[in-house]
């Protein structure tokens, strides 16, 4: 879990924090697992990072030692630690350090050996194994090459999963949340949360959205694990990609598109979208559709309009860019808009470079309220933790000020909410 310092919220906000906060877009298992890794986001140098990993290795019997959130660019040496230093610090324990942006990792020799990566290993599609002049891997693995090592890190067992979930729940509760929506629920998540509930350890209400292909099996098992405050809520689908990779699907071309992807990349056809909505509806459940670009948002609204599902509660997740013409369709079709304004604090440079012509359509929260959405009921705030941190003040900052607390450009300031309206988007009325 990493947070650029630029995203740190600047009090003072006048409004006091309401009770009954809802985190409407989280990944509980990933958050808990991430919290079990060694946090390196505030490491002062590569040497400091290695010392932290070595300390963790001494304190924990686990096999792999994993550090996350590293920012070599911010270290005085502006470089990854040399392989010899990494090996000296961690010895025979396989160890990796992941870059904060998830696009690179450094593996020690033991980790490279576990993954069978040697001078003879070719670069995988979409990835690079960095090498010395003589061809030996340096330990730095870029993009898809990182999977070569990650795929050898063992999945947590049931005990470890519950430990991770306890940590994630305690963390969210400490921020004032009493309800959380999990937007990519693994089929094992409901049963594990039920065990925590039955042991009196589930202190939050949790609503689960498994991936659409998992929905039939999860729905069939739900009567066995649903509890008061723990329920299956819908099916997650992906209509497009992400802004940072320029795969969010846009109505207008990017200023700096990825090769061959002028307007990004739809992940589902209109037929796929309608079929997914119909299949979930047949089980009495709504969909929650990841749609970041304005074309993806429109495609999901079109599909909902065509299917007219009977299950209430269809949601669009992220909705970072929304065309004027589509704003009134949310309320008209009964679609909830689930946004994470905090991402604005991280994405300002990417938005300015990629979509200078569409900045006025970024998170049009004022328009959505004007078109009939209700804060906390049909306009929901969340964070997408652990992609970014879950502190609700980050989204309050973004929704109210439309800029970082450190200043800089304001994005679509006409779409700002009042502080009280912004907090209401975090508040739930029903619940445990
Ligand atoms: Zn997410």
Nearest Cα to 72, choosing from 27, 150, 151, 130? 130
Name 71's Cβ contacts closer than 8 Å, sequence gap at least 6. 2, 40, 41, 43, 99, 100
Name 354's Cβ contacts closer than 8 Å, sequence gap at least 6. 243, 246, 254, 255, 256
Comparing 21-25, 65-69, 211-215, 243-247, the range with the smallest average pLDDT is: 243-247
Quote the ligand 1 centre to 344 CA distance (angstroms): 15
**For the segment 35-46, what is each residue's pLDDT rounded down to a tens digit?**
989 999 899 999
pLDDT of res. 255: 96
Asked if residue 381 and residue 242 are part of one domain, the reply reads yes
Quote the ligand 1 centre to 41 CA distance (angstroms): 21
The helix/strand/coil state of 413 is: helix
C-alpha angle with apex 207: 379 to 346, nearest 5 degrees?
A: 50
Asked if residue 196 and residue 139 are part of one domain, the reply reads no
- How many domains does the chain fold into? 2
Quote the ligand 1 centre to 384 CA distance (angstroms): 5
Q: DSSP alpha helices (H): ranges in 283-378?
A: 294-307, 327-333, 343-354, 365-370
Q: Across the chain, what does the average pLDDT equal?
A: 93
Asked if residue 279 and residue 135 are part of one domain, the reply reads no
Stated length of the chain? 432
**For the segment 343-382, what is each residue's pLDDT rounded down to a tens digit?**
999 889 889 999 999 999 999 999 999 999 999 999 999 9
Asked if residue 298 and residue 199 are part of one domain, the reply reads yes
Indicate whether 54 belongs to any domain: yes
Quote the ligand 1 centre to 330 CA distance (angstroms): 20
pLDDT of res. 196: 98
Quote the ligand 1 centre to 280 CA distance (angstroms): 19
Asked if residue 137 and residue 121 are part of one domain, the reply reads yes
Quote the ligand 1 centre to 130 CA distance (angstroms): 30
Quote the ligand 1 centre to 8 CA distance (angstroms): 21
Quote the ligand 1 centre to 380 CA distance (angstroms): 14
Q: Are strands 315-318 and 336-339 parallel, antiparallel or unpaired?
A: parallel
Indicate whether 167 belongs to any domain: no
Asked if residue 188 and residue 145 are part of one domain, the reply reads no
Indicate whether 159 belongs to any domain: no
Asked if residue 102 and residue 71 are part of one domain, the reply reads yes
Quote the ligand 1 centre to 48 CA distance (angstroms): 31
Quote the ligand 1 centre to 387 CA distance (angstroms): 7
Indicate whether 300 belongs to any domain: yes
pLDDT of res. 12: 54
Quote the ligand 1 centre to 239 CA distance (angstroms): 13
CB-proximal residues (5 Å) to ion ligand 1: 183, 384
Q: Spell out the SS3 assignment of 125-166.
A: CCEEEEECCCCCEEEEEEECHHHHHHCCCCCCCHHHHHHHHH
Asked if residue 366 and residue 293 are part of one domain, the reply reads yes
CA-CA distance, 230 to 225, in Å (whole number)?
Answer: 8
Indicate whether 415 belongs to any domain: yes
CA-CA distance, 367 to 327, in Å (whole number)?
Answer: 7
Quote the ligand 1 centre to 80 CA distance (angstroms): 29
Indicate whether 432 belongs to any domain: no
pLDDT of res. 430: 61
Q: Which carries the bigger pLDDT value, residue 1 or residue 393? A: 393
* Cα→Cα distances 291→20, 182, 265, 273, 300, Å: 27, 16, 11, 12, 8
Q: Which carries the bigger pLDDT value, residue 323 or residue 10? A: 323
Residue with tokens 């963390």: 171
Tokens for 333, please give them: 């079709």
Any idea what the CATH number is for the domain that residue 413 is in?
A: 3.20.20.140
Indicate whether 430 belongs to any domain: no
Asked if residue 280 and residue 250 are part of one domain, the reply reads yes
CA-CA distance, 355 to 412, in Å (whole number)?
Answer: 12
Asked if residue 188 and residue 324 are part of one domain, the reply reads yes
pLDDT of res. 6: 41
CB 6 within 8 A of CB 403: no
Share of the chain above pLDDT 90, in %: 83
Q: Cα 409 to chain center, whole Å?
A: 24
Share of the chain above pLDDT 70, in %: 97
**For the segment 257-297, what is each residue's pLDDT rounded down to a tens digit?**
988 999 999 999 999 999 999 999 999 999 999 999 999 99
Asked if residue 365 and residue 338 are part of one domain, the reply reads yes
Quote the ligand 1 centre to 257 CA distance (angstroms): 23
Any idea what the CATH number is for the domain that residue 120 is in?
A: 3.10.310.70
Quote the ligand 1 centre to 89 CA distance (angstroms): 35
Confidence of residue 4 (pLDDT cuts 50, 70, 90): very low
* pLDDT at 137 > cutoff 50: yes
Asked if residue 284 and residue 314 are part of one domain, the reply reads yes
What residue numbers bound the domain in which 383 lies?
5-27+183-424
First to last CA, the chain: 28
pLDDT of res. 2: 39
Indicate whether 89 belongs to any domain: yes
pLDDT of res. 210: 98
CB 296 within 8 A of CB 240: yes
Quote the ligand 1 centre to 27 CA distance (angstroms): 6
**For the segment 213-257, what is each residue's pLDDT rounded down to a tens digit?**
999 999 999 999 999 999 999 999 999 998 888 899 999 999 999
Give the CA-trace dihedral at 310, 313, 316, 322, to 10 degrees: 90
CA-CA distance, 219 to 165, in Å (whole number)?
Answer: 21
Tokens for 51, please give them: 């010392």
Quote the ligand 1 centre to 419 CA distance (angstroms): 24
Quote the ligand 1 centre to 157 CA distance (angstroms): 23
Quote the ligand 1 centre to 318 CA distance (angstroms): 8
pTM attached to this predicted model: 0.87
**For the segment 153-190, what is each residue's pLDDT rounded down to a tens digit?**
998 999 999 999 999 999 999 999 999 999 999 999 99
Quote the ligand 1 centre to 340 CA distance (angstroms): 10
**For the segment 198-213, what is each residue's pLDDT rounded down to a tens digit?**
999 999 999 999 999 9
* pLDDT at 115 > cutoff 90: yes
């Amino acid at each position: 879990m990493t947070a650029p310092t630029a995203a740190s919220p600047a009090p003072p906000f006048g409004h006091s924090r309401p009770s009954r906060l809802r985190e409407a877009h989280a990944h509980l298992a990933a958050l808990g697992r991430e919290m079990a890794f060694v946090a390196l986001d505030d490491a002062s140098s590569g040497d400091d990072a290695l010392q932290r990993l070595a300390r963790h290795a001494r304190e924990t019997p686990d096999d792999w030692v994993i550090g996350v959130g590293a920012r070599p660019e911010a270290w005085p040496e502006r470089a990854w630690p040399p392989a010899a230093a990494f090996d000296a610090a961690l010895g025979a324990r396989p160890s990796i350090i992941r870059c904060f942006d998830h696009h690179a990792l450094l593996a020690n020799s033991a980790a490279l050996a576990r993954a069978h990566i040697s001078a003879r290993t070719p670069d995988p599609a979409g990835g690079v194994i960095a090498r010395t002049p003589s061809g030996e891997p340096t330990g730095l693995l870029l993009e898809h090459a990182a999977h070569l090592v990650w795929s050898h890190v063992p999945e947590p067992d049931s005990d470890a999963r519950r430990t991770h979930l306890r940590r994630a729940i305690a963390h969210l509760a400490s921020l004032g949340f009493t309800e959380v929506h999990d937007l990519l629920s693994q089929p094992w998540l409901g049963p594990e949360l039920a065990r925590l509930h039955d042991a009196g350890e589930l202190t939050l209400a949790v609503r689960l959205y498994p991936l659409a292909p998992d929905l039939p099996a999860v729905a069939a098992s739900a009567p066995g694990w649903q509890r008061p405050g723990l329920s299956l809520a819908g099916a997650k689908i992906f209509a497009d990609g992400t802004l940072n990779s320029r795969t969010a699907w846009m109505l207008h071309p990017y200023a700096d598109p990825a090769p061959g992807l002028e307007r990004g990349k739809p992940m589902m056809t209109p037929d796929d979208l309608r079929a997914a909505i119909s299949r979930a509806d047949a089980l009495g459940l709504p969909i929650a559709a990841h749609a970041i670009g304005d074309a993806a948002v429109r495609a999901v609204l079109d599909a909902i309009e065509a299917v007219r599902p009977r299950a209430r509660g269809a949601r669009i997740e992220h909705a970072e860019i929304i065309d004027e013409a589509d704003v009134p369709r949310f309320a008209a079709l009964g679609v909830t808009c689930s946004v994470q304004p905090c991402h604005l604090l991280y994405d300002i440079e990417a938005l300015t470079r990629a979509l200078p012509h569409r900045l006025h359509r970024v998170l049009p929260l004022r328009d959505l309220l004007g078109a009939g959405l209700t804060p906390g009921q049909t306009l929901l705030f969340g964070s997408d933790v652990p992609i970014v941190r879950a502190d609700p003040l980050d989204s309050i900052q973004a929704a109210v000020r439309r800029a970082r607390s450190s200043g800089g450009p304001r994005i679509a300031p006409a779409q700002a909410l009042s502080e009280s309206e912004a907090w209401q988007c975090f508040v739930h009325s029903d619940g445990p």
